[in-house]
Amino acid sequence: MYLLSYMKWKILTAIVILSIFLVGCVEIPEKEEIPVADDTGATPEGVNAIINANNQFALELYSKIKEDKNIFFSPYSISTALAMTYEGAKGQTAQEIQSVFHFPEDPSVRRPAFARIYNQINKKEKTYKLHTANALWAEQTYQFLPEYLNTVERYYGGKTTNLDFITKTEESRKIINDWVEEKTNNKIKDLIPQGAINQLTRLVLTNAIYFKGTWVKQFDKKYTREGDFRISPNNIVKVQMMSLPDEEFNYADTEKLQILEMPYDGEELSMLILLPKEDDLAYLEETLSVEKLSEWRNMLTKQEVDIYMPKFTFETKYFMVETLKEMGMPTAFIPDSADLSGMDGTRNLFISNIIHQAFVEVNEEGTEAAAATAVIVAITGMPTNIFRADHPFIFIIQQRETGNILFLGKVVDPRG
């Protein structure tokens, strides 16, 4: 089995399990109160529908971006950012977003269920760090529907901040990136790159997540040694390999697969590792589904295991427009076709970009993970510029090709 494949599956399954346990995360300063979402009317069935939708999207997205390099993303972060977007979508645009993210169509089910998950993530009594935060960033001169802004704040805890995208574009971008960096304990920096926000930007929707947990049974650093990691049969590299001998963990062994669950302190969250036998990652990728994952988890039993696992740290960044188009939601990205009229009452808005960035570190003590998603909404065409010549001005009559001035004048009083 080879290094990147092993790592990618370790990381994929970790995020799936974190999603199952409702991962959303942010390092919130003590001075800042986390908004409480209105989860009145949430039912266990509704919450399960959101979790199932998130996990289904997680595996479908993985199948689209799988390649021979490290993969790491937060399906919860992406789904939450797009759920806030979905609240303002109508018609075919809404149908396509719903089909990709599998959201319950009934708002009386979807909204309180998202709120319940958000509140559960942000509960205060826990032995690990796990928080989520949402925010809307609106162009200060643009009129959004109060109903839309109120819905996002009420059910997603996403308060709206007005910014000047038209004349202070870079300053606005920095404000949003600083918010993301703060909410992810400085792990996600420069989420929105230069040029992604411009004078046409009217709204940016953001979700940030942060998680830090220690293993229930930690690796002893003195046993960490340089060891071989097989990227492919002909490519073996040296890595820092941790070891944990003779400990009881939830474990299962099938003909094609070894499955290990490693809980974090508090035992509410865990990392699930799917290790294919005979380097057969293709089998694992072809077989993995929500149903299969549930089957494998149900096979786990307490057994004594000797664990050897590499330490690793890496970051990923995804520009998701083309991927989401391929998954079935192209209309939202097409000017004059997108329908985000639930946001502003017009058909003038479309999604210009969706950016997702993630960070993960796994070591002897535990795991630190962070991610953020930005959905950038722009207005179709150039903004209308108002030229009101209601004060003194200079005018020139020129030859266009050469710029040769034929006449030059100044108007101070149009009355003559």
Residue by residue, DSSP assigns 325-358 as HHHT--GGGSTTT---HHHHSSS-EEEEEEEEEE
**Distance of alpha carbon 377 from alpha carbon 85, whole angstroms:** 9
Lowest mean pLDDT among 144-148, 153-157, 222-226, 318-322: 222-226
Has residue 125 been placed in a domain?
yes
Length of the chain: 416
Q: What is the pLDDT of residues 134-179, one digit of tens each?
A: 999 999 999 999 999 999 999 999 999 999 999 999 999 999 999 9
pLDDT at 16 over 60: no
Residue 168: the pLDDT is 95
Q: What is the pLDDT of residues 84-125, one digit of tens each?
A: 999 999 999 999 999 999 999 999 999 999 999 999 999 988
Q: What is the pLDDT of residues 259-307, one digit of tens each?
A: 889 899 999 889 898 888 888 888 888 898 999 989 999 999 999 999 9
What is the Cα Rg of the chain in Å? 25
pLDDT at 51 over 90: yes
pLDDT at 393 over 70: no
pLDDT at 13 over 70: no
Contacts 24+ apart (CB under 8 A), 243-248: 243/219, 243/306, 243/307, 243/308, 243/309, 244/217, 244/219, 244/220, 244/306, 244/307, 244/309, 245/306, 245/307, 246/304, 246/306, 247/217, 247/304, 247/305, 247/307, 248/302, 248/303, 248/304, 248/305
Q: Which amino acid is at 41?
A: G
pLDDT at 327 over 50: yes
pTM of the model: 0.86
pLDDT at 339 over 60: yes
> Taking Cα atoms as reference points, which of 74, 161, 82, 89 lies closest to residue 121?
74
User: Who's near 413: CB < 8 A, 6+ residues apart?
Assistant: none
pLDDT band at 29 (very low <50, low <70, confident <90, very high): very low
Lowest mean pLDDT among 75-84, 185-194, 379-388: 379-388
pLDDT band at 400 (very low <50, low <70, confident <90, very high): low
Residue 406: the pLDDT is 67
Higher pLDDT, 189 or 283: 189
Has residue 182 been placed in a domain?
yes
Residue 228: the pLDDT is 87
pLDDT at 323 over 70: yes
Residue 302: the pLDDT is 94
Higher pLDDT, 5 or 22: 5
Has residue 268 been placed in a domain?
no
**Distance of alpha carbon 411 from alpha carbon 126, whole angstroms:** 71
Residue 394: the pLDDT is 64
Residue 306: the pLDDT is 92
**Distance of alpha carbon 174 from alpha carbon 137, whole angstroms:** 12
Residue 416: the pLDDT is 58
Q: How far is CA 359 from CA 12, 14, 21, 184, 370, in A?
A: 13, 13, 19, 10, 5
DSSP 35: P
User: Who's near 376: CB < 8 A, 6+ residues apart?
Assistant: 192, 196, 197, 201, 203, 204, 351, 352, 353, 354, 355
Domain that holds residue 320: 3-214+313-379
Q: How far is CA 21 from CA 25, 118, 177, 247, in A?
A: 12, 12, 27, 24
pLDDT band at 28 (very low <50, low <70, confident <90, very high): very low
Has residue 219 been placed in a domain?
no
Has residue 152 been placed in a domain?
yes
Has residue 289 been placed in a domain?
no
Helix (H, G, I), strand (E, B) or coil at 139: strand
Has residue 203 been placed in a domain?
yes
pLDDT (average), residues 239-257: 91
Percent of the residues in the chain that have a pLDDT greater than 90, as a whole number:
66
Helix (H, G, I), strand (E, B) or coil at 277: helix
pLDDT band at 15 (very low <50, low <70, confident <90, very high): very low
Residue 384: the pLDDT is 54
CATH assignment at residue 53: 3.30.497.10
Has residue 204 been placed in a domain?
yes
Whose structure tokens read 């760090």? 129
Where do runs of H (alpha helix) occur along 277-399? 281-287, 290-298, 321-327, 341-344
Tally of domains in the chain: 1
Q: For the chain, what is the largest distance between any 2 Cα atoms, rounded to a whole number of angstroms?
A: 98
User: Who's near 315: CB < 8 A, 6+ residues apart?
Assistant: 72, 357, 358, 359, 360
